[in-house]
Amino acid sequence: MENLIHSIITLDNQEKYIVLNQATYQGNSYYFVAKVTDNEEDILEEFKLLELVEESGEKRVQLVKDEKIIALLTKYFQKEETE
């Protein structure tokens, strides 16, 4: 997995997010992100968990909706913060 921490991801709806942390679980890549302003100078208090998916040979991210994965990643990312 390519290290995207501190990189800006622009979603299809043109919202921009900075990658705060990332993880791989069962071969899938996940990102903990925070929304940034359009000029990318300020971080807003809007957070998401995104999953990298590949469709028709193109990579994109989508919102994680599986509650079990959300709980697992939340514990993992909280543990990373305390170390």
**Per-residue model confidence (pLDDT) at position 63:** 95
Residue 43 corresponds to which tokens in the numbers above?
A: 């971080």
Residues 24-65 pLDDT 10s: 999 999 999 999 999 999 999 999 999 999 888 898 999 999
**Per-residue model confidence (pLDDT) at position 78:** 81
The whole-number average pLDDT for the span 71-83 is: 80
* Cα 19 from Cα 83, distance rounded (Å): 19
Task: Tell which residue, 71, 72, 65, 63, has the closest CA to residue 33.
Answer: 63
Count CA atoms closer than 13 A to 1's CA, side-chain side. Answer: 17
**In Å, what is the CA distance from 74 to each residue of 14, 33, 40?**
25, 12, 25
Residues 42-53 pLDDT 10s: 999 999 999 999
